[in-house]
Every structure is written in C-alpha cells, then in structure tokens.
Amino acid sequence: MLLAVAGLNELGVKERAKILASGDWSSFQAKDRAGLHFARKLTKAPWTVQAKDVDTLTAHLGREHALDTIWYVCWCNYMTRVADAFQIPLERENVFREAKK
C-alpha cells in the first residue's frame, strides 16, 4: 500500500513488489540495498543482528536515518505479529486513494 501512496500505479506496484521479493536488489542504490539487507535480517533472524550490521547501515544512511530505519522495521514487524496473532485481515483496497466520483 505504501508504494501506491508514494504514487506508483497498479502495474508499478506489482513490478516493484516482484523485484523486492526476488531478493535481487542490484538495481537499487547502495544505501537502499543496505537498508533492505538490514530489514531482511532483522525480520527473519533478529537475534543475529550485530553491531557491525548497525555500523554498515549507519555508514550508508547516516546515524539519524539508520535509527529511523531500525525503528520503522521493528515497528512494522511488531504490527505484523500483532495482526497475525489476532488474525486481522489485510485491507483489500488502498484506504488512502481518493474515492471514485
């Protein structure tokens, strides 16, 4: 949904999601790849995150953006786990899109 809110049309969202899901992020800038790798590691195996991972992220994004990234990935993982635990369904529509007139 965030991709649609960012302005991508339906085809653009599908293409971007396919690239992100593939794990081949070579088409992204180095700073984006660093963020994606960190987010995957924190999501899949948070107990394996080490200081060197945070240092790498900080080297690419700067201290403030690295902190924002860590906080946001943690928050997204938390919300996903809460939604899963309560079996809350995903929205079927982009709730931010203007209603058709």
**pLDDT tens profile 7-43:** 777 777 788 788 888 889 999 999 999 999 999 999 9
Residue 83, pLDDT score: 86
Of 18, 19, 15, 44, give the one whose Cα is nearest residue 32.
19
CA dihedral 20, 12, 99, 92 (to 10 degrees): -40
pTM of the model: 0.75
Its sign, for the CA torsion 48, 51, 57, 63, is: positive
